[in-house]
Structure 1
Amino acid sequence: MSILDAVLGFAVLAFAVTAVAALSIAQRVASIALPALLAGCVAQWLIEGFYWQFAPTYLLLAAATGLVVWQRKSRGGGWATVARVGVGLLLVPAALAWALVPVPNLPRPSGSYAVGTEVLRLVDANRPEPATDAPNDHRNVVVQAWYPADPAAHGKRPAYLDGRGRLPERVTVLPSCMMRGYDRIDTHALLDVPVNPDRARWPVVLFSPGYGAPRAFYTGLIADLASRGFVVLAVDHPYEAAVTELADGTIATPHERFLDDDPDQTRYMSGQLDVRTADLRFVVDQLERPDIMGSRLFGHLDTEHVAAIGHSFGGATAAAALATDPRLKAAANIDGTLYGTLPQQSLTKPFLLLESDHEETGHGAAYLDGNRALLARLQAGGFRYEIAEANHYSFTDAPRFFADPARFLMAHLMGGARGPRQTQRATNDILTAFLREPFGGGRGDVAAAAARYRDIHGGPVR
């Protein structure tokens, strides 16, 4: 939310409250306040365009103005009370509309590098698309690279979300109408700029999102990780992600093929895990191809040091990729339930499990038992940490879609009082320390990274 939006919204609400509670005062200030408020509305519309969140505010301003003018020309009476109640009732939708901010603010990355980004829309000619029936439809994999950028570079801001102007009715559980202004989100990165020349090659981290979530919803976490000296390749898994733009410009939305004899969908999720794991393997295959990586990234990727991380179902994907692809050096699962035979795997590379607060998220038995079994079979050791007062969505941008008062209320109802900024900062501090050793930088002090934050519990797994 911009400063103009916040100031204008608060001012209109204050004027309406004054009009309802003290009409005599409202009449005295109207000559000064109304021109300023009307000018603010015009400026907001011209500068930032129309947001549906502002419609109740415009209506409230019009109603409060009408109330003041009508009261000035009349003697009040019973109808004055009715008018006051009517305007008072409009305060509720005006305030509720601001629960969903028109343009979320993402945190500025905390690392020492400027961040660049590039989108690669790839097609795996060796795999058919399992979600469609077209015989010539091959598997698309969409990758957005986030990387340390040349600090002297200039460029434009990238789009936050695929499918601008063509979004489906809903994006995960959120109505797409609330995302009308998301093209104005500042990702704190520049599009298609040169890679930072400080190092010849940068270590690579694959990132897989949660089930149904587009890669965009992790921009805050990913951009911050890239600013610390990693090339992060965020992978969209088409026809499962809420919205993805394919190589031919098609907007892909979820195509879920649930089975009648699979009531808890474990077989379906196991199959999807195989599809996702193959997606990550395909991305690793492309890292040394100049025709795919292009002039910006090719030659700047340290393909000897590649890891996989992910959130929720993406965390399971990262673990499955580590179990099946010897090119990966490490993996991290952020709050993900494991499926299929993955809990019985014996991982031979370093592994990290990062968890939200168990009490606030309410992890199910499949999550608890599966991760406990996987950790017990680790061959190369690893770590497990639980972040208190973080819920399952604290690792995503989703809490930032809501205004601070709404976020405060949600934290009390759903947990997550630590907030996305502190949760993601702690996550990336721990990830950076964890990846140091498998990426050839010497032993990282993971315990010290976790200890910098209050109430993060856990440690090494032997």
Structure 2
Amino acid sequence: MRQLLAVAAGLAVLAASACTAPAPPRPAGVAPTPTGPATLPAPTGDHPVGTTVLYLKDTSRPDPWNLDADARELKVTLWYPTGRRDGQRAPYMTPKESELLLKGSRITGVPYDTLSKTRTNAVKDADPAGRRLPLVVLSPGFTKPVSTLTSLAEDLASRGYVVAGIDHPYESYVTTLSDGRVAECIACDSDGDPGFGTGVVQGRAADVSFVLDRLPAEWEGSGRIDRSRIAMAGQSIGGAGALAALVKDSRVRAGIDMDGTTYARIPEGGFTRPFMFIGSPQHVPGGRDISWDRDWKLLTGWKRWIVLTGGEHQSFTDGPLLAGALGVTPAYGVLEAARAAELTRTYVAAFLDRHLKSRRQPLLEGPSPSHPEVRFCPAACGRS
């Protein structure tokens, strides 16, 4: 369950292309030299991007992890189109958040504030622009803050989406709450318990519904959102949460699971809303994770099952893009970081454009010579 930013994002995450010659071996005991602050790739859409943060409190339910909290607190980061191209770029995370994430992920050998120096593209607290924009909810993997999906969020906002990234407190190594309190990972002590995954995704689905309930009242730009066009995407347990939210809340019209084992129970009669699996080779039919095989049969509407050759668990996050800054040696044969980000952005946006903007997407109809790493399952997707 716990696939850490360092262990899965530090060792296997950082990738050299299978078509690139491996780096020469380093002398024993010599660590790679960090490259300096990471810079996230520029968004590919037509719009400049703004971002802001909301703090919401659900007083109707206690926190599922912190027994001392009688309300569930959430941090929601919004990315959206703006007319403003200049201004202060939003921080990737605070120095304290960077410290706790690196410590929790067991990354050493670099200053603990390293990730706080990551360069983003969104202008902090810029005014939103546009009208009747679709909304995409993002949910991160277990132990990770939603900031690790910033590259994808910025790109979607530049393409004309409002993106609401949810931090689920006590399920991440660090979440900073409204008054500056830092919520650390209480759930990390329970991740081996029976039924843990099912409980997490039920909680995340409840978090999503609450955010959809409160967003109109809490964000002054919410009038720009077309609430009839809402989708959700997530990575790892966040992807499992996307399916759970889709089943629970009819406002979520379509969903994407990025490399996450699923836990939500799909109705036996089938489920017709559009859904896309996109993952690493562990998710080929008959592979290590059988949950996609099980759920594929119950998805009776528009659906796709895509596997990226050379991808691994963190290929759908910012993890590979941060490798150089963390001094992590790329793994030979794993999808190169920039290419992984490009493919993730491209296929996620194609799905959302098709189902929230009604735009035809030939890219989703089958293999493309421009994207040879992409395999369409189950027909053209044998075991790796």
TM-score range (shorter-chain normalised) is: 0.7 to 0.9
Letter in 1 for 2:103: R
What is the TM-score of this pair, normalised by structure 2? 0.82
Partner of 1:391: 312
Partner of 1:222: 153
Partner of 1:410: 330
1:131 touches 1:257 (CA, 8 Å); kept in 2? Answer: no
Deviation at 1:111, TM superposition (A): 1.7
Letter in 1 for 2:137: L
Partner of 1:195: 128
In structure 2, how many angstroms separate the alpha carbons of the residues matched to 1:313 and 1:183? 24
Letter in 2 for 1:329: R
1:105 is aligned, of 39, 54, 57, to 39
The alignment partner of 1:145 has SS state of strand
Equivalence map 1:6-405=2 (5 Å): 96=31, 98=33, 100-134=34-68, 137-150=70-83, 152-162=84-94, 164=96, 167-168=99-100, 170-175=103-108, 178-196=111-129, 199-256=130-187, 264-289=192-217, 292-294=218-220, 297-339=221-263, 341-342=265-266, 346-358=270-282, 365=288, 367=289, 369-403=290-324
Q: Residues 56-95 of structure 1, C-alpha deviation per residue, up to 9 Å, x if partnerless?
A: xxxxxxxxxxxxxxxxxxxxxxxxxxxxxxxxxxx987x6
Structure 1, 107-116 or 343-352: larger mean CA deviation: 343-352
What is the TM-score of this pair, normalised by structure 1? 0.69
Deviation at 1:195, TM superposition (A): 1.4
1:266 touches 1:339 (CA, 8 Å); kept in 2? Answer: no
Partner of 1:25: none
Computed over aligned residues only, the root mean square deviation of the Cα atoms, in angstroms, reads: 3.0
Deviation at 1:376, TM superposition (A): 0.9
Distance 1:380 1:460, change over 3 A: farther
In structure 2, how many angstroms separate the alpha carbons of the residues matched to 1:164 and 1:96? 25
Distance 1:343 1:102, change over 3 A: farther
Structure ranking higher on relative contact order (CA contacts 8 Å, 6+ apart)? 2
Structure 1, 125-134 or 441-450: larger mean CA deviation: 441-450
Distance 1:304 1:176, change over 3 A: farther
Letter in 2 for 1:288: P
In structure 1, how many angstroms separate the alpha carbons of the residues matched to 2:320 and 2:92? 16
Deviation at 1:266, TM superposition (A): 4.1
1:457 is aligned, of 365, 375, 380, to 375
Deviation at 1:114, TM superposition (A): 1.1
1:141 touches 1:238 (CA, 8 Å); kept in 2? Answer: yes
**Which structure 2 segments of 5+ residues have no match?**
1-26, 380-384
Partner of 2:362: 445
In structure 1, how many angstroms separate the alpha carbons of the residues matched to 2:170 and 2:371? 38
Identity %: 29
The number of residue pairs the alignment matches comes to 351
Deviation at 1:97, TM superposition (A): 5.7
1:102 touches 1:178 (CA, 8 Å); kept in 2? Answer: no
In structure 1, how many angstroms separate the alpha carbons of the residues matched to 2:98 and 2:115? 13
1:147 touches 1:231 (CA, 8 Å); kept in 2? Answer: yes
Letter in 2 for 1:156: Q
In structure 1, how many angstroms separate the alpha carbons of the residues matched to 2:97 and 2:375? 44
In structure 2, how many angstroms separate the alpha carbons of the residues matched to 1:202 and 1:375? 30
Letter in 2 for 1:410: P
Deviation at 1:363, TM superposition (A): 9.4
Letter in 2 for 1:381: W
Q: Residues 341-379 of structure 1, C-alpha deviation per residue, up to 9 Å, x if partnerless?
A: 3596832200000012339x99964x2x21111111112
1:433 touches 1:449 (CA, 8 Å); kept in 2? Answer: no
In structure 2, how many angstroms separate the alpha carbons of the residues matched to 1:166 and 1:425? 25
1:154 touches 1:193 (CA, 8 Å); kept in 2? Answer: no
Deviation at 1:449, TM superposition (A): 8.4
Q: Please identify which structure carries the higher helix content.
A: 1
Q: Residues 318-359 of structure 1, C-alpha deviation per residue, up to 9 Å, x if partnerless?
A: 011011110011000011001253596832200000012339
Deviation at 1:308, TM superposition (A): 0.5
Partner of 1:70: none
Equivalence map 1:421-432=2 (5 Å): 421-432=338-349
In structure 2, how many angstroms separate the alpha carbons of the residues matched to 1:183 and 1:257? 23
2:235 touches 2:258 (CA, 8 Å); kept in 1? Answer: yes
Q: Answer with 1 or 2: which has the greater Rg.
A: 1
Deviation at 1:460, TM superposition (A): 8.9
Do residues 433 (structure 1) and 356 (structure 2) align? Answer: no
Letter in 1 for 2:155: D
In structure 2, how many angstroms separate the alpha carbons of the residues matched to 1:448 and 1:280? 30
2:366 touches 2:376 (CA, 8 Å); kept in 1? Answer: no
The alignment partner of 2:111 has SS state of helix
| Runs of 4+ off more than 6 Å | 361-364
Distance 1:436 1:252, change over 3 A: same
Deviation at 1:142, TM superposition (A): 0.9
